């Protein structure tokens, strides 16, 4: 990956995470990219669960402390990776962009691809020193429940969860099953091939076109708690549908926020509703 060969050498962040566990730090301690610093998604890339959802956005000062501990600077590129498909790494990518960092990349295929190619790993815990990055939130748009509902009416709202959760057949985490009225299912698993590597821009553009997504229209994304929805945001940029000047928006509270309000309707079945 060209970003790993950039000068100055990039800051590497390991954000391996799974909704069902085990904790990503266990995988990190068994082996990681040399020089990579572990960042915990549950406690460092999110605030405490509450009315805002299961993974609310972190407070800017707390997030700044996390990034500085990891050695992040504004004039040094950052490369983030997870286990394989980029769905967790995309959360870190989006948060750094939201915080104002201009040079962030996701490692294609994650740790699995790195190991499969026979590249070196390490078990040392690096001490990168204090970084100087200053968090300036607001560089990426965030919407609330009312704005998500409006986006579904006037543009397109994409639900990144697995199809069975979108349809309301199962709901392992949140108070109610179903989806936001008008939302279209865009499961994060569709962004990568079986190897975990990202599909080409042309393939992703065709995929999103099939969902009725067009450049220039209002686009919002959500998932269960605002994590894998970031994979949709990254895929939209990779496909060339959005960019830094015209990004799609994240419904940060996502279904965990929407479903907690009994006055908000929940649609079940395959149709947006």
Domain identity same for 162 and 222: yes
On whether residue 128 sits in a domain, the answer given is no
d(CA 57, CA 44): 10
What domain range is 253 assigned to? 142-258
DSSP 179-193: B-TT-EE--GGGGB-
- Residue 247: DSSP 8-state: -
| Mean of pLDDT values over 250-260 | 98
Domain boundary among 101, 116, 131: 116
Residue 22 — pLDDT band, cuts 50, 70, 90? Answer: confident
Domain identity same for 171 and 90: no
Domain identity same for 181 and 102: no
Predicted confidence (pLDDT) at residue 262 exceeds the cutoff of 90: yes
Domain identity same for 6 and 52: yes
On whether residue 54 sits in a domain, the answer given is yes
Among the listed residues 36, 145, 223, 229, the single catalytic one is: 223
Q: pLDDT of 113-168, one tens digit each?
A: 999 999 999 999 998 888 999 999 999 999 999 999 999 999 999 999 999 999 99
Give the CATH number for residue 157. 3.40.250.10
Domain identity same for 112 and 189: no
Domain identity same for 182 and 227: yes
pTM: 0.95
| Mean of pLDDT values over 94-100 | 98
Domain identity same for 165 and 81: no
Predicted pLDDT of residue 6: 59
Mean pLDDT of the chain: 95
Domain identity same for 100 and 168: no
Domain identity same for 112 and 199: no
E-assigned strands of the chain? 11-14, 37-38, 78-81, 104-106, 142-143, 156-159, 184-185, 219-222, 249-251
Domain identity same for 179 and 251: yes
d(CA 265, CA 268): 10
Strands 184-185 and 156-159: what pairing?
parallel
Domain identity same for 165 and 223: yes
On whether residue 267 sits in a domain, the answer given is no
- Residue 248: DSSP 8-state: -
Domain identity same for 99 and 190: no
Domain count, the chain: 2
d(CA 101, CA 79): 12
3-state secondary structure of 250: strand
Domain boundary among 79, 99, 116: 116
Q: pLDDT of 197-246, one tens digit each?
A: 999 999 999 999 999 999 999 999 999 999 999 999 999 999 999 999 99
- Catalytic status, residue 223: yes
């Amino acid at each position: 990956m060209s970003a790993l060969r950039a000068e100055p050498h990039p800051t590497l962040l390991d954000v391996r995470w799974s909704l069902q566990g085990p904790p990503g730090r266990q995988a990190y301690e068994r082996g990681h990219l040399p020089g990579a610093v572990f960042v915990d998604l549950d406690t460092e890339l999110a605030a405490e669960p509450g009315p805002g959802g299961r993974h609310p956005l972190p407070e800017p000062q707390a997030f700044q402390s996390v990034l500085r501990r990891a050695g992040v600077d504004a004039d040094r590129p950052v490369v983030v990776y997870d286990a394989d498909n980029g769905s967790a790494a995309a959360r870190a990518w989006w948060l750094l962009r939201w915080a104002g960092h201009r040079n962030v990349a996701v490692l294609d295929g994650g740790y699995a691809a790195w190991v499969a190619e026979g590249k070196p790993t390490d078990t040392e815990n690096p001490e990168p020193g204090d970084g100087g990055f200053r968090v300036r939130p607001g560089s990426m748009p965030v919407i609330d429940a009312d704005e998500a509902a409006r986006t579904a009416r006037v543009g397109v709202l994409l639900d990144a969860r697995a199809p069975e959760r979108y349809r309301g057949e199962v709901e392992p985490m949140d108070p109610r099953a179903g989806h936001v009225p008008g939302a279209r299912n865009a499961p994060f698993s569709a962004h990568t091939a079986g190897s975990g590597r990202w599909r080409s821009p042309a393939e992703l553009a065709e995929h999103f076109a099939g969902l009725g997504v067009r450049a220039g229209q209002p686009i919002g994304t959500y998932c269960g708690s605002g994590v894998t929805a970031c994979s949709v945001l990254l895929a939209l940029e990779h496909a060339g549908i959005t960019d830094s000047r015209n990004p799609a928006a994240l419904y940060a509270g996502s279904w965990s926020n929407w479903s907690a309000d009994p006055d908000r309707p929940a649609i079940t079945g395959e149709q947006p509703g």
